Amino acid sequence: MKTLVIAEKPDMGRNIASVIEPRAKNNRSYLEGDQYIITWAVGHLVSLAEPDAYDPKYKRWSIKDLPIIPEQFKIVPNPKTKDQLKVIGELAKKCNSIVNACDAGREGQYIFALIQQQLKLKQPVKRLWISDLTAESIANGFRSLKDGAEFEDLTLAARARSEADWLIGMNASRAFTTKHQTLLSVGRVQTPVLALIYDRQKEIEAFESQTFYDVKASFSQESLQYPGTWQGERLTSKEKAEDIANRVKGKAGAITKYEMKDTKDYPFKLYDLTLLQREVNAKYGYSAKKTLDIAQGLYERHKIISYPRTNSNYVNEQNLEGMHKALHMLKSTGYKEKAEGANPALVHKNNKSVCNPERVEDHHAILPTLKRPGTLSKEEQHIYDLIIVRFLSHFYPPAVYKQHTVITEVEGESFKTNIKELVSLGWKVLIQQDKEANSNKRSGKKGKEDGEEETQEWSGGPFNVNQDKPVTCVHSEAKEKATQPPKSYTEGTLLKAMESAGKSMEDEELRDVMKDSGLGTPATRAATIERLKKVGYIIMQGKKISITQKGRSAVELIRHAGVELLASPEMTGQWERRLHQISKGEASSEVFMKNVQRFTVSIIDKVSSQKPAPSSMFAEDRERSKGVPGKRNTAVKSSAHSSKATAARGTAKVMEVQTEARTPLGDCPVTGCEGRIIEGKKGFGCSQFKAGCTFVIWKEFAGKTITQAMLKSLLSQGRTQLLSFKDDRGTAFKARIVQVRPESGQLRVERDNPLP
């Protein structure tokens, strides 16, 4: 009899067949050769059943029926792919052994385990565990197949993760939804991620900008001219800043301190998936999901990169030979010039910035394979270029600089200069034309904070300053600045926050676990962000992520219910620690599930005693639902029949209509009116508008968009902070937006220093 090979996707199956059965007959849903029959799943062919599979009463959501805790979890075929599942079952009858060739990771292991369970497959199983789909890797993988039993603990961990997510998602979502009469989706990963966005938005809204002043000067010494920044406590007085600038201008000074040291910038880390998604989002604006899809295509279809769903930035010793072969391959491609300049001797087993086996778990960093790239789309080329340049950079020496620090004193005032003088580009020769690379910011490094010392890259020849010779202040000026609020998340910065979530935990053991895992996995983070969009919790405004009112209310209700753990990375840290131990055979999945069940019961108890949310939290949501047959109950019923795949991941079901409620932003300033100011599409108006209150502040005024933070300043102080405007001639000026009268929404622009 033959051996059945089950791959995760059709492309993978065909790649495998081309190596192990090159003359196999193509039967559309499988390929059959002399020794092997190769077929495939199409993602999840089987998933956890919906609650109504246990009892029909669960079709209607009721908090009285909670918690739902199955004694034995049921699984069901995906109706869209049931034909392929049937094909696998029929093929299995013709085979006496099976090879699990699904993705080499926890999720791939789970996909196979569910198929095996549903079809009651009894044949012995071998495991193919490879990181790329090149012919060489596939051939090597089949020569060294592992016994399927070696991965039983990984299967237990995968199953525990899925069933635990189901318990939390199904029960918490139904509890919060039925208690507050609005469909609310809750999940172990999605809810802490939503809380990150919520907390950042609250920081932005609470931020009050402060005006301050920098004094910048330019000094000359013989033929050298260099900049400097005044040193001292932050200047909040314009007059004092201008006085310093005027006193030093044209005056002689001396260099009171000068230091120079050699520094090196080493290549950035090799890509894992999250780092790749972050950089692609920053450079090209692609969503995390789009980047993952493109990278998966480069891996599966083009076979020119290794497995992309990795969380490692390093490689093992056995990968080094392949890296050197890939370098040689690139010399016969469009990357010839870059590859020719590389030094193979720089990548070796003692180079810990590349080869660090202790930091590699299931998969190594994303690498090019030995296959030459064919015709790629523009988007595929963008991502492949980044991977190749990052790969090649490690075959180049570090960039070398001289770091100069100068303290110049004039009229008793000190100015500091930080100069980074380039000595040798090193690996940066690969990216010197890249504007983003020239900003000299490493991926994920924080931008310069308000008032932080600037370092200037020097490109005007050798920086030769003589500490013993005088200098002259040839120019100086006071520059007005304003402290900046925290930045809204983009998908790229949110991915970084998800990856590093929990690093500030007080529990050292949990902090260590979260250090290497974060919220979600590289393979699921993109799906989590997409999920938050789908349920109406966040929207995209360009690259910026904005939380909707529905998202705000969800976080507040969860926290106020006394189940803050649901919105905290801590629970994920606890779970990931235990799941990792289960996968290594160091902990019991049964004990883990018992603890999850107890936590589920506690959620139901706390939500049951919570007061229903006031109608104002979801006013707009309910307003839009008017006229819809069955209103919420219809939505809840329909949600029970939504995607089984989503159910398997333990997230709540949602109706198609996504809405935002309106939360009061302040009291209406009109005398005698007891209304609250709420946000509409075009302006901020009074909640008593139906009773006749006409107060409104329009969002667009004088070329500016009135934000919630600006609105609060207008309501409390009658004016905004200083803003930049341009007059009809294009001349820039500073001004504030002010209310004409406290009880009027009418606005005007008032210059900071109006001309007489």
- What CATH number has the domain bearing residue 8? 3.40.50.140
pLDDT-based confidence at residue 688 (cuts at 50, 70, 90): confident
Region 740-751: mean pLDDT is 79
pLDDT-based confidence at residue 433 (cuts at 50, 70, 90): low
State the helix-helix crossing angle for 491-500 and 525-534, rounded to 10 degrees: 120
Q: Is the pLDDT of residue 438 over 70?
A: no
Q: Is the pLDDT of residue 655 over 80?
A: no
Q: Same domain, yes or no, for 331 and 429?
A: no
Q: What is the pLDDT of residue 621?
A: 52
Q: What is the pLDDT of residue 723?
A: 85
C-beta of residue 189 within 8 angstroms of C-beta of residue 502: no
Q: Same domain, yes or no, for 381 and 406?
A: no
Region 483-492: mean pLDDT is 95
Classify residue 643: in a domain, yes or no.
Answer: no
Number of domains composing the chain? 5
Q: Say how far apart CA 133 and CA 152 lie, in whole Å.
A: 24
Nearest to 185 by CA among 175, 197, 199, 195: 175
Q: Is the pLDDT of residue 610 over 80?
A: yes
C-beta of residue 115 within 8 angstroms of C-beta of residue 88: yes
Phi and psi dihedrals of 234, rounded to 5? -55, 135
pLDDT above 90 as % of the chain: 66
C-beta of residue 295 within 8 angstroms of C-beta of residue 276: yes
User: Cα separations (Å) of 455 from 401, 417, 448?
Assistant: 12, 8, 10
C-beta of residue 102 within 8 angstroms of C-beta of residue 88: no
Region 595-607: mean pLDDT is 96
Residue 313 sits in a domain whose CATH number is 1.10.290.10
Classify residue 58: in a domain, yes or no.
Answer: yes
How many CB atoms within 10 Å of residue 612? Answer: 12
Give the domain extent around 690: 664-751
Q: Is the pLDDT of residue 516 over 60?
A: no
Q: Same domain, yes or no, for 21 and 46?
A: yes
Classify residue 30: in a domain, yes or no.
Answer: yes
How many CB atoms within 10 Å of residue 140? Answer: 12
How big is the chain by its Cα radius of gyration, in Å? 31
Q: Same domain, yes or no, for 511 and 416?
A: no
Q: Is the pLDDT of residue 446 over 50?
A: no
Q: How far apart are the first and last CA of the chain?
A: 98
pLDDT-based confidence at residue 322 (cuts at 50, 70, 90): very high
Q: Taking the alpha carbons of 344, 346, 350, 352 in that order, is the dihedral positive or negative?
A: negative
Region 528-550: mean pLDDT is 94
Q: What one-letter code names the amino acid at 316?
A: N
Q: Which one from 30, 226, 271, 307 is the annotated catalytic residue?
A: 307
Region 622-632: mean pLDDT is 39
Region 343-363: mean pLDDT is 93
**Residue-level length of the chain:** 756
Q: What is the pLDDT of residue 634?
A: 34
Q: Is the pLDDT of residue 448 over 50?
A: no
Structure-token pair, residue 321: 């030979």
Q: Say how far apart CA 20 and CA 145 lie, in whole Å.
A: 13
Q: What is the pLDDT of residue 444?
A: 36
Region 44-68: mean pLDDT is 96
Burial 144-181 (b: 16+ CB within 10 A, else e): ebeebeebebbbbbbbbbbbbbbbbbbbbbbbbbbbbb
Range of lowest pLDDT (5-14, 498-507, 743-752): 498-507
Structure-model confidence comparison of residues 313 and 646, the more confident one: 313
Q: Same domain, yes or no, for 478 and 516?
A: no
Q: Same domain, yes or no, for 36 and 65?
A: yes
C-beta of residue 231 within 8 angstroms of C-beta of residue 458: no
SS (H, E, C) 579-611: HHHHHCCCCCHHHHHHHHHHHHHHHHHHHHCCC
Structure-model confidence comparison of residues 268 and 443, the more confident one: 268
Mean confidence (pLDDT) of the chain: 87
Residue 230 sits in a domain whose CATH number is 2.70.20.10
605, HSE (Cβ side, Cα atoms, 13 Å): 6
Region 49-73: mean pLDDT is 96
Q: What is the pLDDT of residue 261?
A: 96
Q: Say how far apart CA 8 and CA 101 lie, in whole Å.
A: 7
C-beta of residue 129 within 8 angstroms of C-beta of residue 146: yes
Q: Say how far apart CA 126 and CA 138 lie, in whole Å.
A: 14
Q: Same domain, yes or no, for 103 and 46?
A: yes
Q: What one-letter code names the amino acid at 398?
A: P
Q: Same domain, yes or no, for 603 and 701?
A: no
Q: What is the pLDDT of residue 704?
A: 85
pLDDT-based confidence at residue 445 (cuts at 50, 70, 90): very low
Clarify whether 307 is annotated catalytic.
yes
Q: Say how far apart CA 130 and CA 363 lie, in whole Å.
A: 9
Range of lowest pLDDT (33-37, 398-402, 731-735): 731-735
CA 30 to chain centre: 37
Region 231-257: mean pLDDT is 97
Q: Is the pLDDT of residue 679 over 70?
A: yes
Region 132-155: mean pLDDT is 93
Q: Is the pLDDT of residue 537 over 90?
A: yes
Domain boundary among 144, 176, 193: 144
Q: Same domain, yes or no, for 389 and 415?
A: no
Residue 510 sits in a domain whose CATH number is 1.10.460.10
Place of tokens 């006496």: 96
Q: Same domain, yes or no, for 307 and 370?
A: yes
C-beta of residue 44 within 8 angstroms of C-beta of residue 114: yes
Classify residue 652: in a domain, yes or no.
Answer: no
H/E run at residue 16: helix 10-20
Q: Is the pLDDT of residue 660 over 60?
A: no
Q: What is the pLDDT of residue 509?
A: 56
Structure-model confidence comparison of residues 423 and 731, the more confident one: 423
Domain boundary among 588, 618, 648: 618
Nearest to 196 by CA among 651, 663, 569: 569
Range of lowest pLDDT (49-58, 126-135, 146-155): 126-135
Classify residue 649: in a domain, yes or no.
Answer: no
Q: Same domain, yes or no, for 252 and 199?
A: no
Structure-token pair, residue 446: 């924080």
pLDDT-based confidence at residue 484 (cuts at 50, 70, 90): very high
Q: What is the pLDDT of residue 500?
A: 82
Q: What is the pLDDT of residue 670?
A: 83
Q: Say how far apart CA 379 and CA 408 lie, in whole Å.
A: 49
Nearest to 133 by CA among 97, 101, 98: 101
Q: Same domain, yes or no, for 362 and 460?
A: no
Classify residue 246: in a domain, yes or no.
Answer: yes
Classify residue 590: in a domain, yes or no.
Answer: yes
Nearest to 49 by CA among 730, 626, 647, 671: 647
Classify residue 442: in a domain, yes or no.
Answer: no
Q: What is the pLDDT of residue 512?
A: 57
How many DSSP H helices and E strands does the chain contain?
22, 27
Region 507-513: mean pLDDT is 55
Q: Is the pLDDT of residue 525 over 60?
A: yes
pLDDT-based confidence at residue 293 (cuts at 50, 70, 90): very high
Structure-model confidence comparison of residues 714 and 473, the more confident one: 473
